[in-house]
A and B are shown apart, each in its own frame.
Chain A
Amino acid sequence: EPEVTQTPSHQVTQMGQEVILRCVPISNHLYFYWYRQILGQKVEFLVSFYNNEISEKSEIFDDQFSVERPDGSNFTLKIRSTKLEDSAMYFCASKTLGQGANEQFFGPGTRLTVL
């Protein structure tokens, strides 16, 4: 069964460093998303991406964040200068297009720890 994959599973970085989180969505999907979950809190939407551009972003997704689909298969989230409060589990999700096809498929997540 097709699935969303994410790498790395765990990333440790120093405050101020840049990180890139990688995702490979399901191959025929057209909508891509990033969410995050701070430990013990709910899952929060960061950004959605469709047709090679951001379709929606949350207040969390400030200038320090960017997304890219560099090669038609990967979908990346970059944090330019990490802060302690960026420590969280980051989930990538993807969705196909079609009537009633509203389910988003989630990857296993990348746990980001900022020291």
Chain B
Amino acid sequence: AQSVTQLGSHVSVSEGALVLLRCNYSSSVPPYLFWYVQYPNQGLQLLLKYTSAATLVKGINGFEAEFKKSETSFHLTKPSAHMSDAAEYFCAVTFNQGGKLIFGQGTELSVKP
């Protein structure tokens, strides 16, 4: 069955430190992968997406993610955390044009001053 796993429900980093949020997927067909961010009491905003063009994908707010087929991973990184990055981050996958998104459990990112 197709699924998404986010390792770590809560990640805490210091301001200026590297952010690494982990996402692994399970699939028998090529996936389309996404990272969404959700700020408190708000909807889901797309950070970046992988759609089989380039394996290293750059998104908004300085985030990027690398698709590694051999590891079935799509980890999200940002070199230097900012206080405004504190939010919930969701990895999601779909497998066809109009298909549903399957979401991971989410990772809450806290940024300490």
- A interface residues with partner B (beta carbon < 8 Å): 31, 33, 35, 41-45, 48, 50, 55-56, 58, 91, 93, 95, 97, 100, 102-109
Contacts and interface: CB of A to CB of B under 8 A. Distances in A.
Interface stretch (B16-24, B43-51, B60-68): B43-51
A45 B102 contact: yes
B101 A45 contact: yes
A9 B102 CA distance: 24
Given A31-B98, A95-B98, A102-B97, A108 B43 contact: yes
What does DSSP make chain A's interface, helix, strand, loop or mixed? strand
A42 B46 contact: no
Contacts of A95: 98
Q: How large is the interface on B (under 10, 10 to 19, 20 to 34, 35 or more residues)?
A: 20 to 34
A91 B46 contact: no
A52 to B, nearest CB: 14
Contact of B49 (A93, A102, A108): A102
Contact of A48 (B49, B98, B104): B98
18 contacts: A31-B98, A42-B90, A42-B103, A42-B104, A43-B44, A43-B90, A43-B92, A43-B106, A45-B100, A45-B102, A56-B99, A91-B43, A93-B101, A102-B32, A102-B51, A103-B34, A107-B43, A108-B42
Contacts of B98: 31, 48, 50, 55, 95, 97
A103 B105 CA distance: 19
Contacts of A42: 90, 103-106
B29 interface: no
B51 A100 contact: yes
A104 B101 contact: yes
Contacts of B36: 106
A43 B103 contact: yes
Nearest to A40: B106
Nearest to A3: B43
A55 B100 CA distance: 10
